[in-house]
Amino acid sequence: MATAPHTPPRTLADRNRRTLMMGAVVAIVSLAMGFASVPLYRIFCEKTGYGGTPQRADSVAGIKIATGHTLSIRFDSNVTPGMPWKFYPEHPTDTITIGSRDMAIFVAKNMSDKPVTGTAAFNVSPSQAGAYFTKIQCFCFTQQTLKPGEEVRMPVIYFVDPKILDDPDNKDTQEITLSYTFYPVENGKKPS
């Protein structure tokens, strides 16, 4: 009968070293997941419309207009404290035909005596409508720099996908709110 090879008992130093190594691996993996979570969450939201994140498209090609089906679109605008801009939609609401391309104009004015660069965060409510609200062109895709006292008109070209009519979670949706908040940008980054 064969006997198992004898392994010497581990010393306290060996066990501590192994525990330390396992802890270091867990810490490194946790740190990596922390850095990866924000971009992964953003990609998830963009693909699924989760949390009211609108979709993005290059055109309305292949989208059929749902004649006779309309929705009210409400536009909301905000600036963070310390952002010296006036920012508002030219028209606070619009009625659109589902599936057709439409455009809204937002106005921004730098009220300071210095150039100010801003970037806009956006969402749609109700959040379940985000999967169907699609932007083709938007000022929110890039940073905006306004000179002192400068006022600009910024378009948003969008449509609501007719698939919203087949979604039981959106059967009672009569109004969608598209909301923007402008943040100041310093050195190419949003403040944390």
Q: What pLDDT, on a 0 to 100 scale, did the predictor assign at position 49? A: 44
Q: What pLDDT, on a 0 to 100 scale, did the predictor assign at position 48? A: 47
Q: Which two tokens stand for residue 141?
A: 């895709």
* Contact (CB, 8 A) for 104 and 135: no
Is the entire prediction scored with pTM above 0.85?
no
Q: What pLDDT, on a 0 to 100 scale, did the predictor assign at position 50? A: 44
Query: Residue 181 above 70 pLDDT?
Result: yes
Q: What is the pLDDT of residues 130-166, one digit of tens each?
A: 888 888 888 988 899 999 999 999 999 999 999 999 9
Q: What pLDDT, on a 0 to 100 scale, did the predictor assign at position 108? A: 96
Q: What pLDDT, on a 0 to 100 scale, did the predictor assign at position 140? A: 87
Q: What is the pLDDT of residues 15-74, one digit of tens each?
A: 888 888 887 777 776 666 665 544 544 444 444 444 445 555 555 556 777 778 999 999
**CB contact burial 69-88 (16+ within 10 A = b; e otherwise):** eebebebebebeeebbbebb
Query: Residue 85 above 90 pLDDT?
Result: yes
Q: What pLDDT, on a 0 to 100 scale, did the predictor assign at position 32? A: 63
